[in-house]
A and B are shown apart, each in its own frame.
Chain A
Amino acid sequence: MKMHNFSPVDGLLRDNTVLSAGMVISPIIICGNNLQNAVALIYAFSIITLFSVALASFVPQKLPYAAKIIAYAIISSAIFIPVKILTEQIYPQCSESIGIYFPLLAVNSLIVYQTEVRFFKMRKLKMISSLVFYILGFDFVILLVGFIRELLAYGTIYNHVVNMDSIISGIGAPFGGFILLGLLCGIFRKLRTIASSGNDSDSEVK
């Protein structure tokens, strides 16, 4: 079997799930306007994605492409059932505030597209470590976005009031989420370019 040379930490830095690859954007824009929702989404997304991809890796690769995609989607929506029951126990309010974006995590692009394109081209152990970094990439972005939006839109951090002079309420709305995420993507790309050009010049000096 041909193995591809992906770095396991790509998902966190170079090829971040959200900022670089543009995946799983909708829950960040709509629900990622406070840290409480962000934590609930991190918990649900991490469990659903980790277990779905891990279980999906046992689906025979000889199956037709369409059958494999269906199997991945069915597995993730089946895993969603116990996760939903657990979330209702652990985060009862968040489960309601996340609304339809919670079940939609079961059809997220990381499970449906990236499994075939990236994860299943790796050996099992490397696949799991790479997947963990992809999940951490999403977790980091939603925490950052949740923190910035809650602070700027409501003047609070995890529901604790912070002494803020001015509040930009629009950043808590969907359009604020789009614009902030767009700006973060641009900044991330710039930093990545600077870092990679720095690495290139280092290697030239050596």
Chain B
Amino acid sequence: MFIITQLITQLCANIIFSQALGTSTIIIAARNKKNLAFAACTIMLFTTAGSSLAYFADKVISSENQNWLMLCYVSIIALLYVCALTLLWLINKNIFNKAKLYIHISAFNCAVAGSMLMAHNKAVGMHIFYNYFKSGLEAGIGFLLASLILTAAYKNLNSSKVPASFRGFPAMLVYIGIISMALYALK
């Protein structure tokens, strides 16, 4: 029962279905089924690490200098992006060569930056590292769940039975909308 409750909570607070964060990214990644799984896992790592580092940024930036917050968050994402590229280069140069053209899509997007901003908004007046980490991890898991749901329907949404004008991207939007509507009712 606990797992079901947690799953429903995760789905209801999902960054794609309830906040549309990272929709463009999931649609770009969905053009290739393999890319979707890779992008979702990478984004989960970026949202978790990004939100955790946002904790330190929020400690440094005073409430009067909130205008600089986005610049600071983008710098954090840039740092994570460089770290990810370096790590891939050290692990395997073949994977690095393949991933270097796509990994920026997983780093600089609304899902990662949005999860950092959400963690910031949730932590008003109460800066606890664990809350930032949890918020980022939840956003990442939410993105992963959304991509799993999309992967399950990928074949049908791109099937020849769907009218050509609606095949792929438009059908995917309507599909996300219907799931979002179901989750809206669950709330």
Contact = CB atoms under 8 A, between A and B. Distances in A.
Interface of A: 22-26, 29-30, 65-66, 69-70, 73-74, 76-78, 80-81, 84-85, 100, 103-104, 106-109, 112-113, 170, 173-179, 181-183, 185-187, 189-190, 193
A185 B67 CA distance: 35
Contacts of B20: 25-26, 29-30, 174, 177-178
Interface in B67-93: 67-71, 73-75, 77-78, 81-82, 85
Given A107-B108, A185-B173, A70 B71 contact: no
A173 B165 contact: no
A100 B114 CA distance: 7
Nearest to B172: A182
Interface of B: 17-25, 27-28, 67-71, 73-75, 77-78, 81-82, 85, 100-101, 104-105, 108-110, 113-114, 117-118, 121, 163-166, 169-178, 180-181, 184
Contact of B177 (A70, A108, A178): A178
B21 A182 contact: no
Q: Is the interface of B mostly helix, strand, loop or mixed?
A: helix
A185 B181 contact: no
Contact of A104 (B28, B81, B101, B114): B114
B22 to A, nearest CB: 7
Nearest to B175: A182
A183 to B, nearest CB: 7
B104 A181 contact: no
Contacts of B104: 65-66, 69, 112
Contacts of B181: 170, 173, 175, 179
Contact of B78 (A70, A170, A174, A189): A70
